[in-house]
Chains A and B, each alone.
Chain A
Amino acid sequence: MIRINGLSHHIGPAPILHDINLTLPRGKLVALIGPNGAGKSTLLRLIARLEPLQRGRVEIDGLDLASTPTERLALAMAVMGQQTQIASRLRVAELVGFGRWPHHQGRPRPADREAVENALEAFGLGPLRHRFLDEISGGQAQRAHLAMTFAQGTDWLLLDEPLNNLDMAHSRALMARLAELVRGSGRSVVTVVHEVNYAAAWADHIVAMKGGRIVAEGPADTVLTEQVLSDLYDTPIEVSRHDSRPLVLHHHWHDQLGAPYPKASDADRFPLH
């Protein structure tokens, strides 16, 4: 499991996270939800050691983030950030192949090639394998990055807004693939999602954040309530049910005419530059 104790973070004078204490269970699909500036991506990036820890402690399956070599951590968790632009001119299969780097350090073996083939297959990238990344769409490039993360074969997958650039069918397919990973092979996924209904439909555990603090966490039924969500997003939200899961409704646009813009978060109030 991932244990987070006393995690605080700031960028310049802007506080981003306030004393976060959280335990993320193994073998679950965990979704981080919340409004813009809530600190979801920062929390994920700190767990993924993409940002240096300022205060607090993070442990991944007993490995202390601050003292464990980064090579060892790369065998425990795979990370996909929001940035998917790459300066090198690579083909799709080459990019996915880099997912095996932590295992072979530049000398791929048959098992590595098999893992790459499986990842290409899992994300429907077989026909695109020889295409250059700058010759495919943003959504296809996003899938290639996801396949690279998948190929890394780690117990933990940390994904920052993986549904960016994906259409409805691919978003649904990705969430299903993540759920299969969790339920089929016991791997653990932590993902930031903006569309709450994907979390409602697929997540086992939801962490709701606002203003750098955790405001609720638990199974979908306990977190995705009208009260929690309306407070979380400062906007009226209805929750219905579909297939015995919560279904979040927020499209009563005529109620919103003339309504004030959502309140600024702490991060919005402090200029970052």
Chain B
Amino acid sequence: MDRTAATLIAALMALLAAASLVWMFQGIGGGNRAFILHLRATKLAGLVVVGAAVGIATVLFQTVAANRVLTPSIMGFDALYVLLQTGLVAALGVAGFAALPVAAKFLAEVAAMSLLAGLLFGTLLGRGARDIPRTILTGVILGVLFRSLSTFLARIMDPNAFAVVQSVSFASFGSIDAALLPMAALIMAGCVAGALWLAPRLDVLALGREVATSLGLRFDRLVLVTLGLVGMLVSVSTALVGPVAFFGLLVAGLAHGLSPSARHAVLLPVAGLIGAAILVAGQTLFERLMGQTGTLSVVVEFAGGLFFLFLLLKGRVR
């Protein structure tokens, strides 16, 4: 890693550390310090896990898709999440949904969404259909199917149940469940370690099928493994905070823009740190300094959406 890249990573770590310190100790009073610090530390860990998972998943996905405008959410993950929630509320009712064990529900969601990635990409790529655009189009169509099914279920359920569905269908960085964190952090750490181990191969993968194959890379196998990692990372973040459509795009765009190298050994940590820093700094700003007068998820999605339009208008679709 060259000096510029190391400096960038160090600066982002310092930024994240500074934002974390402000988050932890800003306005801490005299009483119940231990309780407050524990509460804040839990939420901080959640924000870091989600930010890093979304950033790294998007960079990995864009490498596979050879496209800087796509995000994993376009493959229908967020739509599946909403469908799962809607289906559970419709089947169990409000009381039954609330009574579900949190950890089991989380693992089931991670498994369901990872299974989708495996089925979708395994089927499409395993049969020799080496066509990433077709795979992505299939994901978009599945997303539309999941959204339509959710809408259908929402129309036939009672208004109280619909209100519960609404509450879990939007991203919320303010209500991360502490019970999920250890598992989520473990899965995220495993995926990140795997992605970093694959980083030199991902650099070759980014050259495209033809060049990568001629350099001796097992292209299809690496695409499948990478998409499996993307599926798990997106599952973790979606289950923790709900669907986020454009946040990953913003993080990946910033990572590519700031990083002095296209090497994944640099890009992946940069994306993870940017994602975590944005969420921690943003949540600190909105929750502490602005007294909950704004919602981070809305602002992040708005900024990501503007960035998406900027990429389209600039023609930087590759």
Query: Which A residues have a C-beta under 8 Å from some C-beta of B?
Result: 48-50, 52, 70-75, 78-81, 83, 85-90, 94, 98-99, 101-102, 105-107, 148, 152
Closest 7 CB pairs of A and B: A74-B216, A106-B200, A79-B214, A87-B66, A71-B216, A88-B206, A88-B262
Residue contact B204 to A87, C-beta cutoff 8 Å? no
Residue contact A73 to B318, C-beta cutoff 8 Å? no
State the main secondary structure of chain B at its contact with A.
loop
Q: How far is the CA of A95 from the CA of B213 in the complex (A)?
A: 15
Q: How far is the CA of A78 from the CA of B67 in the complex (A)?
A: 26
Task: Give chain A residues whose Cβ lies under 8 Å from the Cβ of B215.
Answer: 74, 98-99, 101-102, 152
Residue contact A101 to B262, C-beta cutoff 8 Å? no
Residue of A nearest to B198 (CB): A106
With A83-B208, A98-B207, A105-B200 known as contacts, the answer to whether A89 contacts B256 (CB < 8 A) is: yes
Task: Give chain B residues whose Cβ lies under 8 Å from the Cβ of A94.
Answer: 261-262
Residue contact B213 to A70, C-beta cutoff 8 Å? yes
Q: How far is the CA of A91 from the CA of B203 in the complex (A)?
A: 13
With A87-B318, A106-B200, A106-B201 known as contacts, the answer to whether A50 contacts B214 (CB < 8 A) is: yes
Residue contact A88 to B128, C-beta cutoff 8 Å? no
With A89-B256, A90-B262, A101-B204 known as contacts, the answer to whether A48 contacts B318 (CB < 8 A) is: no
Task: Give chain B residues whose Cβ lies under 8 Å from the Cβ of A148.
Answer: 211
Q: How far is the CA of A152 from the CA of B216 in the complex (A)?
A: 11
- How many pairs, one residue from A and one from B, have CB atoms within 8 Å of each other in the complex? 69
Residue contact A86 to B214, C-beta cutoff 8 Å? no
Query: Which B residues have a C-beta under 8 Å from some C-beta of A?
Result: 66-68, 128, 199-201, 203-204, 206-208, 210-211, 213-218, 256, 261-262, 318
Residue contact A89 to B262, C-beta cutoff 8 Å? yes
Q: How far is the CA of A87 from the CA of B212 in the complex (A)?
A: 12
Residue contact A86 to B208, C-beta cutoff 8 Å? yes
Residue contact A81 to B211, C-beta cutoff 8 Å? yes
With A87-B66, A88-B206 known as contacts, the answer to whether A70 contacts B218 (CB < 8 A) is: yes
Task: Give chain B residues whose Cβ lies under 8 Å from the Cβ of A98.
Answer: 203-204, 207, 211, 215
With A87-B66, A88-B262 known as contacts, the answer to whether A73 contacts B216 (CB < 8 A) is: yes
Residue contact B200 to A52, C-beta cutoff 8 Å? no
Residue contact A48 to B208, C-beta cutoff 8 Å? no
Point out the residue from A71, A87, A102 that lies within 8 Å of B206, measured CB to CB: A87
Point out the residue from A50, A80, A105 that lies within 8 Å of B213, measured CB to CB: A50
Residue of B nearest to A160 (CB): B210
Residue contact A70 to B216, C-beta cutoff 8 Å? yes
Residue of B nearest to A81 (CB): B210
Residue of A nearest to B215 (CB): A101
- Tell me the minimal C-beta distance from A24 to chain B in angstroms: 18
Residue of B nearest to A158 (CB): B214
Residue of B nearest to A84 (CB): B211
- Tell me the minimal C-beta distance from A100 to chain B in angstroms: 9
Task: Give chain B residues whose Cβ lies under 8 Å from the Cβ of A50.
Answer: 210, 213-214
Q: How far is the CA of A90 from the CA of B214 in the complex (A)?
A: 18
